[in-house]
Structure 1
Amino acid sequence: MSNEYTPNDPIGANQPPRRRRAPRRDGKGANAATNQNTLADQAIIADQGDEAAVKAGGVKLIANQRIIPFMKIEKPMMILSALLVLAGIAAIIIKGLNLGLDFTGGVSANVSYQNPVEQTQVVQALADNGYPDAVVQYLGTRQELLLRLPPQDASAEDLSSNLDKILDLSGNAATIDSISIIGSQVGNEIYLNSLLALSVALGMMLIYVATRFQFKLALGAVLALFHDVIIVVGLFAIMGWPFDLTVLAAVLALIGYSVNDTIVVYDRIRENFRRVRGLTPRQVLDLSLTETLRRTIMTVGTVFVVVIAMLFLGGDGLYWFSVALFIGLIAGTYSSVYIASSIPLMLGLSREDFVVKVKPEFEEEVVVFADPELQNSKD
C-alpha cells in the first residue's frame, strides 16, 4: 500500500506525520534559556551583591518587577539630613521662634459685624489706631471675627470701649461679644505643654513600633519623626514666620501622617524578609520601597491637593497651618525612605530579626526506642 500523499484523500490516512516545529513548553525547550537567565540573574543578586544588581539594569527579581536602588544614595542623603537637622537646631537655639500670641500672651476678642466685612479692612483700621500687630480671623461667617492683639497695659473694660470705636466701619457697625486677656504665664504654660505633647507623641510612637515590629525599626521611625519636626520648626525659626497653636497642630498632624507612611513601608519590609530568599538586607529594603512607591505617590499627591487648596483658599487662619503641612509632607516622605529605612540597616537589620524562633521548651524531642529484645532479634 502506497504512503504517498493524495490531496483528495478524505480521511488523510496517507498524510505524513506532522512534526512540531517548536519544542513543548515543559521547561526543556525554548523556555530553558529563559529559565537559565532567570536563575543567573538571581545568582548575580545573591552572590555578587548590590553593585552587580545595579549594573544589571534593574534585574527582574520578583514577579518581573524592576527594583529601584533607593539605598544606593543613602549615605549622601543621610549627610544632607544631618546638616539640615543641625541647621534647624542651631536656628531654634540662636534665633528662636517667632511665637504667636498663644504662647506670649495678649488680648483675644470676638467681634460681630452687621454686614460681611473683609479682614484687610479690620486690620487696617486697627493699624491706623495704634494696633499694628493685630491678627484677624473669621469665625464661621464673614460677619464674625476673632481679633488677637499683643499684650496691652489697659484693662479689659478700657480695651473693649476703645476697640468698639475703632472697629466701627462706615455703614457697618461692630459689636464686641467677648474680650479676654491672656497673661504671659498662661502662654508659658501652653508652650511647655506643647513641648510635653511632642515628647509624649514621639515616645508613644517608639513604644508602638517596637511592639508591633522590632526595636531597630522603632528607633528609625522615631528618629525620622524627630527629623521631620526639626525641619519644619527650624525652617520657621530661620524664616521668622509666626509660630502659634495652628502651626503646632500641623506639626502634631505631621507626626501621625509620617508614622503612618513609615508603618506601611515597615510592614512590607517585614513581609519581604520572611518571604524572599537569597537577597541581602539592602536589596530587601530596595524591593520593599519599590513595591510601596505607587501607594506613597498616590497618598502624598492626594494630601498635597488638599494642602494647596487650604494654602490659597483657606484664608489667613489656615495659611501658616498649610505652610507647615506642605513642608512636613516633603520632609515626611523623604524621611520614610532615607531615615526610617537607612537607620535600621545601619543597626544590622537582617532576616533573623523577623523569623519566629521556636522556644526550647516547644522543640520536639527526639526519642530513640532501645529495646534489648528487638536489638537481639536484629543481631
Structure 2
Amino acid sequence: MRLRLVPETTNIDFFGRARLTFGASCVAMVLSVVVWAMFGLNFGIDFQGGTTIRTQSVQSVDIGDYRAAIAPLDLGDVSITEVFDPTFGDDQNVAMIRIQAQDDQEAVTAETIAAVEAALQEVDPSITFPSVESVGPKVSGELIQTAFIAVGASLLAILFYIWLRFEWQFSVGAVVALFHDVIVTIGIFSALQIRFDLATIAAILTIIGYSINDTVVIFDRLRENLIKYRKRDLREVMNISVNETLSRTLMTSGTTLIALIALLILGGDVIRGFVFAITWGVVVGTYSSVFVAKNVVLFIGLNREDKPTDKGNQFAGIDA
C-alpha cells in the first residue's frame, strides 16, 4: 500500500475566491512593509559591525559555558560557534565568538575584548586567542547593499528564465509570488525582531529556490492541461492542475518541514534564525505558488488561440 496524504483524485476549488486570497496576500505584503518601516530589522554582527574573536583550547568547546561567562558583560548580540575541521588535532578545539559593535562606537574596544578574554580564561585556563578581527560600519553597509542586490538579481534571473520556459504571464506571476515570499519573510523578522544576518540572506535565497521549484511544477502541469482542455475555462484548468499536483506538493513540503522543525527545536541558538526563515519560507512559498503566482496569471489572462502549443513557446525545450 502506498501512503497518500490526499485522495488520489481531488476536486478542490482553489480559485473560487481568487480575489479574496490574492487580496489577503497583498494586505500581508503591505503590513510587512509597514512593520519593516516602523521597527526596522535586528541586524546581526555581519550587518551592524563588530568583532570576531577566534579561540583555541586543548579542552573541548562548551558553548553553554562560554556564553554563561560572557553574559554578565552585557555585550548584546554575541554569537558563539564551534569550528570543525578534519585537519585539527585532538588538542585543537576552535571556536568563533562574534560580538556586535556597542552603542556610539564603531568597533568593540580593546578593553571589552580584554574583558571577554579574561572571562573565558576563567572557564578554561588553557584557552588562547590566535586572532581578533573587527568589521566596521562601512564594511557592514556594503554587505547589506550586496545582500539585497543578490536577492534582486536572483528575482530578475528567475523572471527571465520563466519567460523563456513558459509565457511572459507565467514569469510575472512567479516573480510576484517570490517577491511576496521575500517581503513577508522580512516582515516577520522585523515584527519578531529575530536576528537578521548573512545566514538569513542565505535562507531567503533558499526560499526563493524552493518556492520557484514548486511554482514551476504546477506551471508545467498547467501548460499540459491548457493543451488537453482547450475548450475549458482558464480557472477550471488551473483548478485541475493544482489538484493533480496537490499530493506531490504536500508530500514535498511536509517531509521538508519535518526535518526543519526538528532543527528548529533541537538545532540550538546558532542556526535558529536560519532554520526559522526556511521553515517560514516553505509554508509561505507553498501558499504563494498557488494563491499568488496562479492568481496573477488568472487575472492577466492567456491568449489561448495559438498558445501554448504542444511545445510551449520557442524556448520551452530548455532544460531546467
- The TM-score range, normalised by the shorter chain, is 0.7 to 0.9
2:167 alignment partner in structure 1:
214
How many angstroms does 1:68 deviate by? 1.8
Work out whether 1:173 is the aligned partner of 2:126: yes
| Other structure's SS at 2:130 match | strand
Identity, % of aligned positions: 33
User: Residue 118 of structure 1: CA displacement?
Assistant: 2.9
Partner of 2:47: helix, strand, or coil? Answer: helix
The Cα shift of 1:116 comes to 2.5
Over 3 Å counting, the alpha-carbon distance change for 1:171 and 1:93 in structure 2 is: closer
1:12 matched to which residue of 2?
Answer: none
Mapped pair 1:304 → 2:267? no
Q: Retained in 1: the 8 A contact 2:52–2:133?
A: yes
Gap change, CA 1:69 and 1:143, over 3 Å in 2: same
Tell which deviates more after alignment, 149-158 or 249-258: 149-158
Length, aligned pairs only: 294
In structure 2, relative to structure 1, the CA distance for the partners of 1:289 and 1:356 (3 Å cut) is closer
Work out whether residues 53 and 98 of structure 2, in 8 Å CA contact, stay in contact via their aligned partners in 1: yes
TM superposition shift of 1:150: 1.8
Deviates more, 1:119-128 or 1:314-323: 119-128
1:1-379 equivalent positions in 2, closer than 5 A: 65-140=9-84, 143-151=93-101, 161-170=114-123, 173-352=126-305, 353-355=307-309
Corresponding residue of 1:363 = none
Deviation at 1:73, TM superposition (A): 2.1
Partners of 1:156 and 1:181 within 8 A in 2 = no
Code of the residue aligned with 1:114 in structure 2: it is V
In the TM superposition, residue 342 of structure 1 has moved relative to its aligned partner by 0.7
**Larger CA deviation: 146-155 vs 314-323:** 146-155
Structure 1 residue 273: Cα displacement? 0.4
Distance 2:266 2:93 in 1: 18
Q: Is the 8 A contact 1:137 1:316 kept in 2?
A: no
Question: 1:368 corresponds to which residue?
Answer: none
Partners of 1:217 and 1:290 lie apart in 2 by 18
Partner of 1:48: none
**What is the one-letter code of the residue matched to 1:231?**
V
1:369 matched residue in structure 2: none
TM-score (norm 2): 0.85
Tell me which moved more, 66-75 or 266-275.
Answer: 66-75
Hey, what's the Cα distance between the residues in 1 that align with 2:310 and 2:188? Answer: 44
Structure 1 equivalent of residue 314 of structure 2: none
Q: What's the offset of the Cα at 1:158?
A: 5.8
The CA distance in 1 between the partners of 2:32 and 2:94, in whole Å, is: 38
Deviation of 1:169 (Å): 3.4
- Secondary structure of residue in 1 paired with 2:77: coil
Unaligned runs of 5+ in 2: 1-7, 86-91, 312-320
- Contact 1:119 / 1:136 at 8 angstroms: preserved in 2? yes
Residues 75, 99 of structure 2: 8 Å contact kept: yes
SS at the partner of 1:289?
helix
User: Secondary structure, in 3 states, of the residue corresponding to 1:261?
Assistant: helix
- One-letter amino acid matched to 1:230: I
- Using a 3 Å threshold, how does the CA distance of structure 1 residues 327 and 91 change in structure 2: closer, same or farther? same
| Superposed displacement of residue 120, structure 1 | 2.6
In 1, distance between residues paired with 2:109 and 2:157? 42
Q: 1:65 to 1:300 in 2, by over 3 A?
A: closer
Structure with higher Rg: it is: 1
Higher RCO by CA contacts (8 Å cutoff, separation 6 or greater): 2
**Distance 1:72-1:158 versus aligned 2 partners, 3 A rule:** same
Q: 1:331 to 1:170 in 2, by over 3 A?
A: closer
2 CA distance for matches of 1:196 and 1:219?
19
How far did 1:241 drift? 1.2
Q: Is the 8 A contact 2:76 2:100 kept in 1?
A: no
Uncovered stretches (5+) of structure 1, i.e. residues with no partner: 1-63, 358-379
1:331-374 Cα deviation digits (max 9, x unpaired): 000000111101011001253331379xxxxxxxxxxxxxxxxx
Output the CA distance in 2 between the equivalents of 1:343 and 1:218: 10
Shift of 1:159: 5.7
How far apart are 1:173 and its partner, in Å? 2.9
Residue 30 (structure 1) aligns with: none
What TM-score do the two structures reach when normalised by structure 1? 0.73
